[in-house]
Structure 1
Amino acid sequence: MKINIDIVLGFIEAGKTNFINSILKSGEFQNETIIILQDEFGLSEIDISSQNSQDNNKIIVINPKITEEINTFFISTIIDQYSPNRILIETNGMKDSSSIINIFKDKFLKKICRVDDIIAIIDAKKFFIYLKNMKSIVTPHILNSETIILNNLNYLNKEEFSNIQNEIKKINETAKLIEHVSTLNIKEIHQEEYVQLNNKNNFLTFKFLISTTVFIFLFTFFMTLMMSDYNIYNDYISKFKNFYTIFISILIQGLPFILVGSFISAVIQIYISPDTFIKIFPKNIFLSCIIAAFSGILFPICDCGTIPIVKGLIKKKVPIAAAITFMLAAPIVNPIGILSTIYAFQGMKSVVICRISAGIVISILVGLIMQFSMKKEDDILIINDDEINCNCGFCSSDYDSSSDAFKRLKAVFIHTGDEFFNTGIFMIIGTFLSSIFQTAISMNNNMYLPNDNRSSLITMILLSFLLSVCSTSDAFVAKGFLKLFSINSVMGFLVVGPMLDIKNTIMLFGNFNKKFVIKLIFFILVISFGVLVNLKLS
């Protein structure tokens, strides 16, 4: 039978020793030889006498010297000497918890030992202080743990307690949360109790109530329609069906690309160091913009998916000019978008070439102007999404990119999910508004359409903003406007649409500083109009 290993993590005075003493009192272990390895020098001591006499456990407390390193050899020596059934390791909170856990991944120890539980003891009263000032240490404790125990909850109100739970769940969604409760028995002796927090049931109950409410509403709605004169509602149902079709089609086109963009952003954040980006992008800003402009060929991402990537680039301190150039050019040089344009405008190669070249020129110009118009101290990313509030533990400059492969892979999916849902919610709002505009336009066949080049170009740019068609399929929509507008005006739809639309605008305001977004939108419109109005296509 393998030796059970329990690893207790936490800062000094968090309550690690008291927790171990409570386990010994509980009678959970019987007829075992237990090694308690205290790699910590706190105020409390292991109370061997507190265990129940009927447990018949042999408890051995080992306090390593300061000069001794807990490693594979140290653990192997203890096992050879004492032949324990269980080893409880109380770790020093300032040490890297991963180093202790990785000891038991050794081939020899893996055969004879089994990590039964990894427990993080957290002083709830000091949680946010530690998280703010020692994030690179606190986060791995939480991330590596299977069980998290919260102490000193009596100092918190309900809102503070809820905030702590939310922060922990952002870092480790699967960990079991335990609340420490100290009770007074009849003999006026304090007893330690650990009660599991069950938030999932509350969440499921909430979801059930919402789902039931929606179901009852829909059932009542459709029953009313069935019992009423169908002809009265036929026109409204047709309009709603048109809106629904547009809304779903845009989401189906856009969400996969946001997911891919979020995944690439996560990979960039976790696996690629700032030094690597410095090597990729030259010191010369103009050259870095050119590289960024053509980088979209390697990443088949539409306009929806570039924003998460750009956030990752900015966090890596890549020049603003290069990041913006990539964001604006990537949807246009996207191979899928190029192929769709070639297919939609068969026999019109000039349209494809013009779209790519104009898109690259505008992207570089806007990127360079934004670079030189922003002050060095300006904050581009909004505070809620800055590195300080990222809870994965891998965004800190102290993060070691050579750490455990499984942890890095896990962090990629944590980052991807967080980025996808944060960005996706803005995409859904933008899609909803865009669908309303598209439905309104499709129902109004008597719209005034300007004839001169400048007015029609402005109209097409406005339509590209309102319709918010995905850059991988907008060529087919643009071709439909050739019956109403000149090819020069349609270029406004093909070039500006992937750079700026309702979806993008809402996502930009949701992720970047308002001043930065307004300035970016202004320069995109001005530069695009200045370049496109001088095109002479036939």
Structure 2
Amino acid sequence: MKVEIEIVTGLLESGKTKFINSIIDDRDLEEETIVVIQDEFGESEINTVENKVIVIKNDIDENIKFSFIQEIITKYFPDRIFIECNGMKSVNSIIEIFEDRVAKKSCSIDDIVTLIDGKTFRLYLKNMGSIINENTLNSKTVILNNTEDISKDELDKIIGDINNLNKTINILKYDLDKEEYVNVENFKDTNIFKIFLFALALFGVTYFMSRTAIEPGAFKKFYTQFMSILIEGIPFILIGSFVSSIIQVCIPREKMMNFIPKNVFLSCLVASVAGVFLPICDCGTIPVVRGLIKKGLSISTGITFMLAAPLVNPIAVISTIYAFPQTKSIVITRVLAGIIIAIIVGLIVNLITKKDEIILKNQEDIVDCECGYCTEEYLKGTGLKIKISGVFIHAGDEFFAVLKYMIFGALISSVIQNVITLDNINVPSGKFASLLIMMAFAFIFSVCSTSDAFIAKGFLDEFSIGSVMGFLVVGPMIDIKNTIMLFGNFKRAFVIKLIAIIFVVSSVVLMVIT
């Protein structure tokens, strides 16, 4: 029979020994021979009962090795081993011991428990965030101690932070009155309930609109436009989330920065053509850019990539060729205009932002990223299996964080498209006015760059090619759904300035080029 391994970790005075004692005193274990390996010594002592509990203190200032575990198993024949870890050491080193093929034959990890002191959680998270992140990510259970004197709001924030780091973790707290560990409300259930309410509300609105006096054709048009935006955008958001996750979890900052020229203009130039190698549309660039900026990429370079990538995307280029088979100049103009505008906007952003200015929402938070896999400390020494797991967990967080803004943006865009049509607009004869209308349509329609060329072709009956270029170039850079996604990820003041710069620069460049 395999020896059950219980790994207990946490910072000093978090209650590790007290927790182990509470488990040892359980009647279900009274017939077991238990060994407790202490890699850290606090004020409390392990209870020994009728020589059934053997306490071994690791006095050597080195990581525990499997040979040490083997000696204990051979000498004491334990049913269960508790390892009280040093909270300042990486719990990965302990976990990796039991992932060895030989170790798996004689041992199996039953639980990994992290003890957290509710009173000092914020302080430790601020100063030793990488340690807490790593321990929480690798744990199956978290125990909260000393929560009696903190407010419910503060406790909810702590639980929320833990759930952000590890979506599947089981959270308990010590109940002083009952003198036992009890389950706390799991935020996963709350989130599921919120999703259920949102789905119910969406169904209610849809049902109401279908049963009222709204013209069936208008409702069908709204529904079709809304769903088409989502169907076009969601795959690219998913791709963008995975690209962002791979960059943040697998690529150290130093290696990434080696590929970026230090000169601002050259870095923007490189960023403007990088989209050729990352075929994602405008929906997917936002999570990628957010990840790159978190990793240390300059704001100007990140913004240049965000604006140019959808236009130089090979899929978008091919779709434009198919939409305008007789007018190849449109394809060339679209790509060149996009690159020029993106570089100019990037350079302007470089001038109006400070070197270390924080433009991302929550970038200044204690935890750099909610998934916890992104810290440079955590990237060092982690195995392939852990990194793959981190990519998927991080991608899920990124995807759902961006998706909610896209859904809202798609909803608004669909409503506006049903209100504003060519039938109720007088098309002006002036070149500049026509260009502005096409740019406005691009902003409202929120069509992905991989399919907008076919819609743009339909405008040629009413507008000149020069005006239609406004739709083809500006749409992939900024539209309603992207604007809402930007407001959800970047600070409001920065987004407002960025949108204004994009429209002004685009107007000037397109007037000159076309």
Normalising by structure 2, we get a TM-score of 0.94
Q: Which amino acid aligns with 1:327?
A: M
Indicate if the aligned counterparts of 1:271 and 1:401 stay in contact, CA closer than 8 A.
no
Quick check: 1:151 aligned with 2:145? yes
Aligned to 1:281: 260
Aligned counterpart for 1:510 among listed residues 488, 491, 514: 488
| Distance in 2 separating the partners of 1:214 and 1:496 | 33
> 1:420 offset after TM fit, Å?
1.4
Residues 409 and 451 (structure 1 numbering): CA distance in 2 closer, same or farther, change over 3 Å?
Answer: same
Quick check: 1:71 aligned with 2:65? yes
| Distance in 1 separating the partners of 2:295 and 2:153 | 34
Residues 308 and 14 (structure 1 numbering): CA distance in 2 closer, same or farther, change over 3 Å?
Answer: same
| Distance in 2 separating the partners of 1:42 and 1:91 | 11
> 1:385 offset after TM fit, Å?
7.3
> 1:220 offset after TM fit, Å?
8.4
Aligned to 1:189: none
Quick check: 1:424 aligned with 2:403? yes
Q: Which amino acid aligns with 1:506?
A: I
Residues 337-396 of structure 1 show CA distances to partners (whole Å, capped at 9, x for unaligned) of 111111111111010111011111111111122112322242221236757452322222
Indicate if the aligned counterparts of 2:24 and 2:30 stay in contact, CA closer than 8 A.
no
> 1:215 offset after TM fit, Å?
10
What secondary structure is seen at the aligned counterpart in 1 of 2:512? coil
Residues 237 and 160 (structure 1 numbering): CA distance in 2 closer, same or farther, change over 3 Å?
Answer: same
CA RMSD of aligned residues (A): 2.5
> 1:406 offset after TM fit, Å?
2.2
Aligned to 1:92: 86
Aligned to 1:173: 167
Please list, as runs of the form range in 1=range in 2, the aligned pairs for 1:478-489 lying within 5 A after superposition: 478-489=456-467
Aligned counterpart for 2:426 among listed residues 448, 463, 470: 448
| Distance in 2 separating the partners of 1:219 and 1:376 | 47
Quick check: 1:343 aligned with 2:322? yes
What secondary structure is seen at the aligned counterpart in 1 of 2:427? coil
Aligned to 1:48: 48
What secondary structure is seen at the aligned counterpart in 1 of 2:447? coil
Greater shift in the superposed pair: 257-266 or 377-386 = 377-386
Residues 330 and 69 (structure 1 numbering): CA distance in 2 closer, same or farther, change over 3 Å?
Answer: closer
Indicate if the aligned counterparts of 1:139 and 1:391 stay in contact, CA closer than 8 A.
no
Q: Percent identity?
A: 50
Q: Which amino acid aligns with 2:413?
A: S
Quick check: 1:466 aligned with 2:444? yes
| Distance in 1 separating the partners of 2:328 and 2:15 | 71
Q: Which amino acid aligns with 2:278?
A: F
What secondary structure is seen at the aligned counterpart in 1 of 2:157? helix
> 1:176 offset after TM fit, Å?
1.4
Q: Which amino acid aligns with 2:447?
A: V
What secondary structure is seen at the aligned counterpart in 1 of 2:120? helix
Indicate if the aligned counterparts of 2:145 and 2:173 stay in contact, CA closer than 8 A.
yes
Residues 71 and 168 (structure 1 numbering): CA distance in 2 closer, same or farther, change over 3 Å?
Answer: same
Q: Which amino acid aligns with 2:35?
A: I
Aligned to 1:437: 416
Aligned counterpart for 1:500 among listed residues 478, 482, 496: 478
Please list, as runs of the form range in 1=range in 2, the aligned pairs for 1:96-111 lying within 5 A after superposition: 96-111=90-105
Residues 214 and 356 (structure 1 numbering): CA distance in 2 closer, same or farther, change over 3 Å?
Answer: closer
Q: Which amino acid aligns with 1:487?
A: I
| Distance in 1 separating the partners of 2:361 and 2:188 | 33
Indicate if the aligned counterparts of 1:10 and 1:92 stay in contact, CA closer than 8 A.
yes
Residues 82-130 of structure 1 show CA distances to partners (whole Å, capped at 9, x for unaligned) of 2222111111111111111111122221211111111111112222222
Aligned counterpart for 1:193 among listed residues 176, 180, 198: 180
Aligned pairs, how many? 514
Residues 416-474 of structure 1 show CA distances to partners (whole Å, capped at 9, x for unaligned) of 122112211221221111111211234x6142101121111111111111211111111
Indicate if the aligned counterparts of 2:405 and 2:484 stay in contact, CA closer than 8 A.
yes
Quick check: 1:294 aligned with 2:294? no
Q: Which amino acid aligns with 1:76?
A: Q
In the alignment, structure 2 segments of 5+ residues that lack a partner are none
Aligned counterpart for 1:352 among listed residues 321, 331, 334: 331
Residues 209 and 169 (structure 1 numbering): CA distance in 2 closer, same or farther, change over 3 Å?
Answer: closer
Aligned to 1:524: 502
| Distance in 2 separating the partners of 1:216 and 1:347 | 45
Indicate if the aligned counterparts of 2:3 and 2:108 stay in contact, CA closer than 8 A.
yes
In the alignment, structure 1 segments of 5+ residues that lack a partner are 185-191, 226-231
Residues 183 and 525 (structure 1 numbering): CA distance in 2 closer, same or farther, change over 3 Å?
Answer: closer
Aligned to 2:24: 24
Quick check: 1:318 aligned with 2:289? no
Q: Which amino acid aligns with 2:173?
A: E
| Distance in 1 separating the partners of 2:200 and 2:292 | 43
Aligned to 1:164: 158
| Distance in 2 separating the partners of 1:58 and 1:400 | 40
> 1:302 offset after TM fit, Å?
0.7
Indicate if the aligned counterparts of 2:368 and 2:375 stay in contact, CA closer than 8 A.
no
Indicate if the aligned counterparts of 2:159 and 2:187 stay in contact, CA closer than 8 A.
no
Aligned to 1:2: 2
> 1:214 offset after TM fit, Å?
5.3
Aligned counterpart for 1:368 among listed residues 347, 351, 364: 347
Residues 510 and 68 (structure 1 numbering): CA distance in 2 closer, same or farther, change over 3 Å?
Answer: closer
Aligned counterpart for 1:415 among listed residues 391, 394, 398: 394
Indicate if the aligned counterparts of 2:245 and 2:391 stay in contact, CA closer than 8 A.
yes
Residues 216 and 368 (structure 1 numbering): CA distance in 2 closer, same or farther, change over 3 Å?
Answer: closer
| Distance in 1 separating the partners of 2:407 and 2:206 | 25
Q: Which amino acid aligns with 1:369?
A: I
Residues 435 and 207 (structure 1 numbering): CA distance in 2 closer, same or farther, change over 3 Å?
Answer: closer
Residues 316 and 60 (structure 1 numbering): CA distance in 2 closer, same or farther, change over 3 Å?
Answer: same
Aligned counterpart for 2:117 among listed residues 123, 132, 141: 123
**Max Rg structure:** 1
| Distance in 2 separating the partners of 1:407 and 1:170 | 17
What secondary structure is seen at the aligned counterpart in 2 of 1:296? helix
Residues 471 and 158 (structure 1 numbering): CA distance in 2 closer, same or farther, change over 3 Å?
Answer: same
Aligned to 1:253: 232
Residues 330 and 107 (structure 1 numbering): CA distance in 2 closer, same or farther, change over 3 Å?
Answer: same
Normalising by structure 1, we get a TM-score of 0.90
Residues 295 and 15 (structure 1 numbering): CA distance in 2 closer, same or farther, change over 3 Å?
Answer: same
Greater shift in the superposed pair: 494-503 or 396-405 = 396-405
Residues 172-196 of structure 1 show CA distances to partners (whole Å, capped at 9, x for unaligned) of 1111112212347xxxxxxx41222
What secondary structure is seen at the aligned counterpart in 2 of 1:258? helix
| Distance in 1 separating the partners of 2:400 and 2:446 | 20
Quick check: 1:272 aligned with 2:272? no
| Distance in 2 separating the partners of 1:45 and 1:127 | 24
Residues 267 and 88 (structure 1 numbering): CA distance in 2 closer, same or farther, change over 3 Å?
Answer: same
> 1:284 offset after TM fit, Å?
2.4
